[in-house]
Amino acid sequence: MNQGNVIVTRDKTRIFYNDWGQGQPVVFSHGWPLNGDAFEDQMLFLASRGYRVIAHDRRGHGRSSQPGFGNDMDHYADDLAALTEALNLKDAVHVGHSTGGGEVARYIGRHGTKRVAKAVLIGAVTPIMAKTDWNPAGVPLSVFDGIRAGVQANRAQFYKDLTLPFYGYNRPGAKVSEAVRDTFWLQGMTGSILAQYECIKAFSETDLREDLKRMTVPTLIIHGDDDQIVPLETTGREAAKLAPRSKLEIVAGAPHGLCTTHKDRINELLLAFLQA
């Protein structure tokens, strides 16, 4: 059901979205713990160049409702499918950053490519972040336990501190924007602590290998080589080996929050990929 800038899913969750412009639809799936506004630089850029840009707030995040259930990758993918169906999107390009990259992969894995023309994974958690038997170089689960502890103990302070490695502001000579840090904090704090807490398991432990194999549309994988949050070597490089029609674009010196810090380069890459 579509009610203005909100759709209502089968389990009665209200998903907020922004929908600007005309033309081929480009659908954005944001990272944790943010909301759709994390892509505002890309949306403004593409909307002014003849594209229809759509970004939703994941369930439990931003302006969407905060159910006490469904905070997992399958529900995220089904919510995205519900949005594309409610808006009757066709020939869409799906762009996912971080957790949103996992959401895009699982959406295609579960719902196919009928409505999808292309896909873009930016600093994505695919195929998996956590260390496992088959991913021995992954991030130890103790790291994610630490994130959970930080969210539970003092979410507000944890999110403010997280902005430093997220945007590479902890690197020598980095030009720090306190306004960007404040914006991250504001977006994070609008979400549900329960949803964000449970999302940690979703973005770190979900096995997305088979989903990547089903991404048979042209897929651009963008990753910064100074990503301190989602390591390039075990995510971006590995995802590029699994997605059949993928191209890996490494952005030199870029941190995890590269859609903000390197927005001009990201916009340039997206536009070229859309026009190709």
Please identify every residue annotated as catalytic: 98, 227, 256
Cα 53 to chain centroid, rounded: 15
Count H helices and E strands in the chain, helices first: 10, 9
d(CA 8, CA 79): 9
**Phi and psi at residue 266, to the nearest 5°:** -65, -45
Burial of 25 (0-12, 13-18, 19+ CB in 10 A): buried
Q: Is 232 helix (H, G, I), strand (E, B) or coil?
A: coil
Amino acid at 13: T
CA distance 73 to 88: 22
Buried b (16+ CB within 10 A) or exposed e, 127-166: bbbbbeeebeebbeeeebeebeebbeeebeebbbebbbbb
Q: Exposed (0-12), middle (13-18) or buried (19+): which is 48, by Cβ within 10 Å?
A: exposed
Q: How many CB atoms lie within 10 A of CB 26?
A: 26
Q: Which two tokens stand for residue 65?
A: 């409702």
Rounded distance between C-alpha atoms, residue 128 and residue 207, angstroms = 5
